[in-house]
Amino acid sequence: MPELPEVETIANGLNARVAGDTIESVWLGKKPEPLKSPAKEIARTLDGAHIKKVHRIGKHIVFDLKHGKDSAQWIVHLGMSGRMLIADPDAEIAKHTHAIAKLASGRELRFVDPRRFGRLSVVSANTKNPSGFTGPGSEPLTISPEDFAALFHKRNTPIKAALLNQKLLHGVGNIYADESLFRAGIRPRRKAGSLTKVELAKLHSAVQTVLKEAIALGGSSVSDYVDASGEEGFFQLQHRVYGRTNAYCYVCRTPIKRTTVGGRGTHYCPKCQS
């Protein structure tokens, strides 16, 4: 599943290429799974909408829209295998395309998702919801060290599972939780509430550093992920533990171990992490 750096890369790429454009019409496929909002509501919101900005909130791509005097948002969650691509109208339409937005510039925005775990929804700004979509948890790139530490206070769940809890931090996934815990020297099974202030400060710094490095390299392409131009990322070349089972740790030469935490494959160095 694309995590924060991958979604940030895609959103930035989309923003650079479609901000300022207008959606002239929308085609939606017949599969019901990708549509979190009713098809008629999605079509009504997107038809004729001006794209003000594309950005990321958590693991979601958010299109800020203007429709006359009304504001709305198109929310795209990529799920396991979703792709949001910009295509020429005469380009072949992939088999698992579930939505096509025709733009005034002549291009098309296409949502492709073979596994159909991705979701499309729309949110209208109103007096009850003036800020629109805000995401389920705190933003990892901007949260303060104090607020970060407070998220894990007295929690008995493993710190790896807590990092993956999107209601606490939205955007951190399996790859970057493993990499951050390695940088901070913390074992994934440690109870979140057992971490000291010093350890939490190290983890806060590690999370932000790893995410920023990954964004700079376009994310990690370890499965289906490509950006809005169809290009792969390069951060997988910098992974220190994730996906390196039995390979030597770059720091101490101890073989990397793999275990399961909260049902997720988890990688760590038994010597560097305690």
Catalytic residue among 3, 6, 8, 199: 3
DSSP 163-206: HH-TTTBSS--HHHHHHHHHHHT--TTSBGGG--HHHHHHHHHH
Catalytic residue among 8, 34, 56, 59: 59
Amino acid residing at 208:
Q
Residue 213, CB half-sphere, CA atoms under 13 Å: how many?
16
Cα dist. 254→17, 187, 200, 244 in Å? 45, 15, 25, 12
Cα dist. 18→39, 46, 98, 169, 199 in Å? 22, 14, 19, 28, 42
Angle of the 4-18 helix axis to the 197-216 helix axis, nearest 10? 40
Q: Is 3 among the catalytic positions?
A: yes
For residue 20 the two structure tokens come to 């300022």
Q: Is 59 among the catalytic positions?
A: yes
Which helix (H) or strand (E) element contains residue 213? helix 197-216
Catalytic residue among 33, 145, 264, 270: 264
For residue 14 the two structure tokens come to 């989309």
By DSSP bridging, strand 97-103 and strand 108-112 are antiparallel
Q: Is 2 among the catalytic positions?
A: yes
- Say which residue the tokens 């729309």 belong to: 122
For residue 44 the two structure tokens come to 């009504």
Q: Is 128 among the catalytic positions?
A: no
Query: Which residues are designated catalytic?
Result: 2-3, 59, 264
